[in-house]
Amino acid sequence: MSRLQNKTALITGGTSGIGLETARQFIAEGARVAVTGSSAAGIEAARKELGDKALVIQADAGNAEGQKAVAEAVKKAFGHLDILFVNAGIAEFGPLEQWSEAAFDKSIAVNVKGPFFLVQALLPILSNPASIVLNTSINAHVGMPNSSVYALTKGALLTLAKTLSGELIGRGIRVNAVSPGPIATPLHSKFGLSEADAKAMGAQIQSQIPAGRFGNSSEVAKAIVFLASDESTFTVGSELIIDGGMSTL
């Protein structure tokens, strides 16, 4: 298919999981794609996976000042930008009493501050029309224990999708959000749990999903392709929840 033919796209956190699958689907739909990642191993793997079909940029998603360099790299490569998928993020969980200020600040920086200043840095090169998609989470809705910081960062992004919609629609820029539920991605291996605890956590989460399983990255990426394409030109400030029914319970 060619729903994104001749469009340019930037995907943050595009070297694994939902971001990498979205890059694959964007490319298959005809887009020229740039992805960012933070780890050298992830960068190398993405370069091997995507080859010359994508520009791979090493960047720290939590470094507000560093977002200007990302915008400059995209401008140099493409000249303008039609699609931005803000996907980079971290998920750290723990009871309220165990959170340190440093850990709190890190989650805010990566999940909220960096994305905010990336959008700001990209404004001069965003096309009219353009589409921005923010990757939020059902954790902004469900009140899951031990997810307080993660949930508040995703709630902030969800609010940003709505407020920026009102602010930027006059410039032809649509802003929407996807809110995945439990998705089988490498993110879940970064919770710092033992194998046994991770298995127990997975089983407990799965029991709360009416669909009876975790989702996969492809199912989320398909929704992002829709929001990025001209098929969704009347979709503004919206949230697509992709969670197998978890948030309905």
Q: Which two tokens stand for residue 20?
A: 């990498």
| Residue 220 backbone dihedrals phi, psi, to 5 degrees | -75, -40
Cα–Cα distance for residue pair 157/141, rounded to 1 Å: 12
Is 150 annotated as catalytic?
yes
Terminal CA-to-CA distance of the chain, rounded, Å?
Answer: 36
Distances (CA, A) of 83 to 70, 156, 182: 14, 21, 25
DSSP for 59-111 reads: --TT-TTTHHHHHHHHHHHHSSEEEEEE---------GGG--HHHHHHHHIII
Amino acid at 41: A
Residue tagged active-site, from 54, 150, 161, 224: 150
Distances (CA, A) of 198 to 187, 188, 193, 203, 211: 12, 8, 6, 9, 20
Q: Which two tokens stand for residue 210?
A: 């009416």
Q: Which residues are catalytic?
A: 150
